[in-house]
Chain A
């Protein structure tokens, strides 16, 4: 059969966000695949340089619509480290509570997407309906369904009353029951098993070599979780297990995420039991002392990394963000190669991609000559005019 090149993206029903996958097909098999990113560069890092540290909390929270709390917590931690601020214990517990609730909503959302990708719409409808429980809880606690705006420099903005804690516990019971049900569906439903078992394999060695992170790596049996390895704030006071699995495929990633849901319920119960009384925040000055700091945070999708450099003013000199999807992106082509076209959507979805969060500025450097070419606006315009002229589309005027 002749080879066929199929573009999966940048716009495709299987993708929630723009990203380009080019697949070389032999029949239904994928012979080769390439990934091209850069379709949703929003200039956030540059924008952060012209805003104050406080304004940046809200800007960077909007990197991702799903793991917004992860990004803002990670950023706030770098600034607090620069300022030498000691966050009160109660605020740390509230941050962890929101973080775990966010993980629950993210994983339930993912479960639905996974169902959609394998044509199991009932799973999608069920999971998204149950996700509403945790969304309501988040709205009750923070006032928002996403982009909670809970973090501030030196603490959190809102307190949790005992009544709210009670409501969270009630919601957890309902969610736990539903998660048990999903676990049974995944373990017992044959059509789910045949679509996920052995699909998109990423061995332990390949996962480590390609720099995969989060549930993708844990599904290959690697015990790696920032909450355990590099515990910030209260995570070393909580008792929890790192969910891992030995399947190293889409099935394993599903099992890991569902197990993490159960661990998160367990952790939230501990948080609500152990949360101490005390102030919600400490004062952090507007001008942050010069220096640089980095922080890591276990977002639902894997390791989130933030770096901030301060020059002593009220605005950062440089903010660098590496979203977990970037780390997992390199492994995607490896997982797609040799598989079926029908499996490509679920394999891509199984890393829980967040392409728009991933895109940062790319600086192209010629490896052979070492030439570092940065294009300014004039050069880009000139290139565009010539590009069109070459194709006989001379517009006759300077754009």
Chain B
């Protein structure tokens, strides 16, 4: 009976909370938030609240066209891999309290590893589409990966080094106990926000799917439900990245009350999404070479200095 219960809990965790359903709803909510904030910053009215759902339903009902040149099986399965990896990483991120569902020492590294998989799938999706623009988009996604991934990792390792743990739950527990220490990590937060734009392929780092250059980029040949899957995945990835940044860089947690904790979580993620939308509205697209040199010459040294600072302070504490 207890065995059956735990199987039931596992299925519930995968399908409902914090798995597909919860993450799916969150991704739609924050896609709407992102779009309305972006629109208001641009002097536009913006979409109605149900627009992300309507877009999703519309895409799901559309005909799916698979190019005859493309590798059929991989073309179909790649979006699923991308979404699965994103959803899996969400299991290790704290939601309503400062403890995730399955915390263990080292889950920070695992989450980052999971978050690399979507970018790899972009490359594979572009490559196996056998389309010119998709291939260029895929290669660009890969080149960006080498640029933003290092500063993104290091920007999260700095705060973790100060906390002395590789577990996200441990990190947030540490900053809950020492809230003032978070002020030291502000440069790291800036680096994380910048490189998150690269991970999410948004302006200013959206060269892989810049429509005026490479049409749809990686997704040029994707349509119908496979494109819907990719779009869901992008929304989910934004939530996961925002939640990860919120968990590592914000010391505000309330234990005990689940509803209040969830509310606080939503506000924190919203704040990160707001920063992401603000950057998207205020900046022009970087060229790929400019993006790579910006990541290596500015973001990486800043996060290196941050790690050094964190280690010195840790020694002093």
Contacts and interface: CB of A to CB of B under 8 A. Distances in A.
B101 interface: no
A376 interface: no
Interface stretch (A70-78, A117-125, A284-292): A117-125
B3 interface: no
Contacts of A121: 42, 203, 281
B212 A4 contact: no
A342 B132 contact: no
Q: Is the interface of A mostly helix, strand, loop or mixed?
A: helix
Residue among B41, B133, B287 having the largest count of chain A Cβ atoms under 10 Å: B287
Interface in A108-166: 115-123, 125-126, 129
Contacts of B215: 12-13
Residue among B132, B206, B211, B284 with the most chain A CB within 10 A? B284
A170 interface: no
B288 A120 contact: no
Taking residues whose C-beta sits less than 8 angstroms from the other chain, chain A's interface range is 20 to 34
Nearest to A113: B212
B284 A28 contact: no
Given A118-B285, A195-B284, A14 B213 contact: yes
Nearest to B216: A13
A6 B42 contact: no
Interface string A248-270: 00000000000000000000000
A119 B41 contact: no
B261 interface: no
B294 to A, nearest CB: 9
A340 interface: yes
A6 B132 contact: yes
Contact of A129 (B43, B284, B289): B43
Contact of B287 (A6, A117, A340): A340
B297 interface: no
Given A126-B43, A191-B283, A28 B289 contact: yes
Contact of B213 (A126, A129, A341): A341
Interface in B128-160: 132-133, 136
Given A14-B211, A116-B212, 15 more contacts: A14-B213, A28-B289, A117-B212, A118-B285, A119-B204, A119-B284, A120-B283, A121-B281, A122-B282, A191-B204, A191-B286, A195-B285, A340-B287, A340-B288, A341-B213
Interface of B: 41-44, 132-133, 136, 203-204, 206-207, 210-215, 281-290
Interface of A: 4, 6-7, 12-14, 28, 115-123, 125-126, 129, 189, 191-192, 194-195, 340-345
19 contacts: A6-B133, A6-B136, A7-B132, A14-B213, A28-B288, A119-B212, A119-B284, A119-B285, A122-B281, A125-B42, A125-B43, A129-B43, A189-B284, A191-B284, A194-B290, A195-B285, A195-B286, A195-B287, A341-B214
